[in-house]
Structure 1
Amino acid sequence: MNWRRNLVILSMAVFLAAIAFSLYAPFLPMFLQELGLKENLSGWSGLMQAANSLTYALMAPVWGMLADRHGKRVMFMRSGFGIALTYVLMAVSHNHYQVFAWRALNGLLSGFIPSAILLVATNTPEVHLGFALGIIQTANSIGTIMGPMIGGVSANLFGVRSTLFASAAVLALAAVCAYYGTREEIRPQQRKSTFLTDMRQVTSNGALRIIMISQLLINTALMVIQPTLPLFVGEIVTTNVAMFTGVIFSIIGVSTALGAPLFG
């Protein structure tokens, strides 16, 4: 198995997927306005983000267990095309209730980037593992940085619905590249386990509990501004709101990427 080929293909796929995942961030509140929602825009935006994160948190361990049993490559197709479908459904939505449902479904079907990280982690020689994981994380970070800026510009030039269709196409392309461009060695599990026993094992580990709580707090601090930032920018500027919001989100990503090595 050529682990370098896997790494190159998955880095490109993760880069594309990260762009697709973050394209919508600058314009979700404006899209809700376009659908006719006039009141409590920040509340609905936050509720949609919370629903997406909650369903993702509920299903992530399940998808991880299935990936261990049946392989990570199949998860690329399931997650990639599943989430692409939710973007198409969002693009043809007629009201904010439909968008809420598709955002919740989006979280249920997530797991593309974690599957890529797992495939690299389990199919790369140990001596090269740190380098390989660093490349994948870098691809994810760059895609996440570029996504909001591209999404903001695209929404201004072509409209929100066209941008959502483009996001679906990019994600489908990433899924096809990841599935057909990689090879995977599926190692038989040494012991049979269940979801509940795996969860008990994880939560009983003190170090892992600290990491999970820390990650929860960090993600909360990072995501709390996402529903309201586009609305705040809209109060300051009157034109190109999505573009300016996308640039701000991207600047946040750049500062995070630059600061992590310094403080890590």
Structure 2
Amino acid sequence: MKMWRRNLWFCWFGMFVTGIGMSQIAPILPIYINKLGVHNTGLIEQLSGLAFGITFVVSAIFSPIWGKAADKIGRKPMLLRASLGMSIIVGSMGFVSNVYELIGLRLLQGVITGFSTACTTLIATQTTNEEAGWALGILSTANIAGSLLGPTFGGFIGDTFGFRNVFFITGGLLFIAFITTLLFIKEDFVRNEKMEFSTKELWNTLPQRGLTLTMLLTAFVLSLSLYSIEPIITVYVSELCNHIKDVAVIAGVVFSASGLANIISAPRLGKLSNKVGVEKVILISLIIAGIIYIPQAFVKNPWQLMGLRFLLGLAFGGLTPAVNTLIKRITPNELTGRVFGFSISAQYLGTFGGSVLGGQISSFLGIRYVFFVTSTLLFLNALWVYFKVYKKINKGSSK
């Protein structure tokens, strides 16, 4: 087996577990904070939002820093640092005695992350352009599926084994990711001291700055679109359920349906992007995703919503790997870590922004408008991709 193929599957496991580690706290946060001694409902909601969002905001700041470190000292050291650090920090959340300790650890979790950046960079630099679409398609399923399945995982473990055990079990899985990375992931890294730049110099050095900027914006919009429903999903499902029990479980399954579909479609659409062009896959997937959001506002029961979320995941499966593949193609190998660091930052900001946006739109306009606004953002993104990416690439290929 080629070295990059073996690395791919161990990176997949690590990214999947890391995705769970970032998001598993979402459904249990209010209950956990209540058990830590906060009983005012309004304060619980405020502290829950802070504890959940602070990890993604801080991760957005530190991802480019760890990406730069990956380009300097290698990607495997970054994988070991992130997996071991997260296993300790997430595991420690099970021992906290008050909510401020929990928030502090969530902040440290944001600082120590960087596993996804290093994994994506490692696989991108070890594969050829012909292999990259399929490989990055496989890899993208890990992070998205872990993030989307994380809330279901956290809710199930919390209800079955107790809320503190959510952190102990997740920390244990992250430690397994550290051990597998240490033993099985291989890298032949050669440092290129000539390619060390400041952020401004890096940007001026990139050969396709316009395309890179468009891909970073697209990465942001994708995460924002996926997570705009996160703060309102339980309320929306409860409105659709009509006295059905286990609303929280059904809401978790509905939210995670797109993650399952993503696992199915991403590798296949990654291969397709190599054949027909990444710009076509990005453009068509954005349009289809925008269309699928609209009927979600008109569903009559949670099963219809689940089916539409599954279809949405199939469409989204073509987006992240295509974005990463295009970034790889237009970025020098020596700078790949830093550029992917910015891409991961955009995704984390989108996750946080989506959660905030969904809650605010629902509060002021109503739940169904969340789907309309998200659909509009996807269509606007598709329009920009058409003029800035699709037309540019096809114009260049026709010469």
Q: TM-score range by the shorter chain?
A: 0.7 to 0.9
Is the 8 Å Cα contact of residues 26 and 243 (structure 1) preserved in structure 2? no
Distance 2:187 2:5 in 1: 12
- Output aligned runs, 1:100-179, within 5 Å: 100-179=103-182
- Output aligned runs, 1:31-110, within 5 Å: 31-37=32-38, 38-40=40-42, 41-110=44-113
Is the 8 Å Cα contact of residues 258 and 314 (structure 2) preserved in structure 1? no
2:194 aligned counterpart, secondary structure: coil
Is the 8 Å Cα contact of residues 23 and 150 (structure 2) preserved in structure 1? yes
Which residue of 2 is the match for residue 260 of structure 1? 316
Instruction: Provide, for residues 117-173 of structure 1, a one-character-per-residue CA deviation record: whole Å limited to 9, x for no partner.
Output: 111111224432222111112233333343322221111011110011100110111
- Displacement after TM superposition at 1:177 (Å): 0.9
Q: Does 1:27 align with 2:34?
A: no
2:191 aligned counterpart, secondary structure: coil
Distance 2:9 2:118 in 1: 15
Which residue of 2 is the match for residue 15 of structure 1? 16
Q: Does 1:246 align with 2:265?
A: no
More relative contact order, 1 or 2 (CA 8 Å, 6+ apart):
1
Is the 8 Å Cα contact of residues 257 and 313 (structure 2) preserved in structure 1? no
1:50 aligned counterpart, secondary structure: helix
Is the 8 Å Cα contact of residues 25 and 52 (structure 2) preserved in structure 1? no
Distance 1:51 1:14 in 2: 20
Q: Residues 167 and 238 (structure 1 numbering): CA distance in 2 closer, same or farther, change over 3 Å?
A: farther
Task: Choose from 184, 189, 209 the match for 2:213.
Answer: 209
- Displacement after TM superposition at 1:21 (Å): 3.1
1:191 aligned counterpart, secondary structure: helix
Q: In structure 2, what residue type is equivalent to 1:11?
A: W
Measured on the aligned residues, the alpha-carbon RMSD in Å equals 3.0
- Displacement after TM superposition at 1:56 (Å): 0.8
Q: Residues 216 and 128 (structure 1 numbering): CA distance in 2 closer, same or farther, change over 3 Å?
A: closer
Q: Which structure shows the bigger proportion of residues in helix conformation? A: 2
1:4 aligned counterpart, secondary structure: helix
Distance 2:112 2:98 in 1: 22
- Displacement after TM superposition at 1:62 (Å): 0.7
Is the 8 Å Cα contact of residues 51 and 107 (structure 1) preserved in structure 2? yes
How many residues are aligned here? 264
- Displacement after TM superposition at 1:215 (Å): 3.2
Q: Residues 31 and 228 (structure 1 numbering): CA distance in 2 closer, same or farther, change over 3 Å?
A: farther
Structure 1 runs not aligned, ≥5 long: none
Q: Residues 197 and 185 (structure 1 numbering): CA distance in 2 closer, same or farther, change over 3 Å?
A: farther
Identity %: 28
- Displacement after TM superposition at 1:209 (Å): 2.5
Q: Compare 20-29 and 225-234 and name the one that shifted more.
A: 225-234
Distance 1:15 1:175 in 2: 13
Instruction: Provide, for residues 96-137 of structure 1, a one-character-per-residue CA deviation record: whole Å limited to 9, x for no partner.
Output: 222111111111111112211111111224432222111112
Instruction: Provide, for residues 41-63 of structure 1, a one-character-per-residue CA deviation record: whole Å limited to 9, x for no partner.
Output: 33222222332122111111110
Q: Compare 63-72 and 243-252 and name the one that shifted more.
A: 243-252
Q: Does 1:223 align with 2:227?
A: yes
Distance 1:59 1:251 in 2: 30
Q: Compare 189-198 and 77-86 and name the one that shifted more.
A: 189-198
Is the 8 Å Cα contact of residues 29 and 227 (structure 1) preserved in structure 2? no
Q: Compare 146-155 and 235-244 and name the one that shifted more.
A: 235-244
Q: Residues 159 and 179 (structure 1 numbering): CA distance in 2 closer, same or farther, change over 3 Å?
A: same
TM-score (normalised: structure 2): 0.58
Distance 1:73 1:218 in 2: 27
Q: Residues 212 and 124 (structure 1 numbering): CA distance in 2 closer, same or farther, change over 3 Å?
A: closer
Is the 8 Å Cα contact of residues 9 and 182 (structure 1) preserved in structure 2? yes
Q: Does 1:182 align with 2:238?
A: no
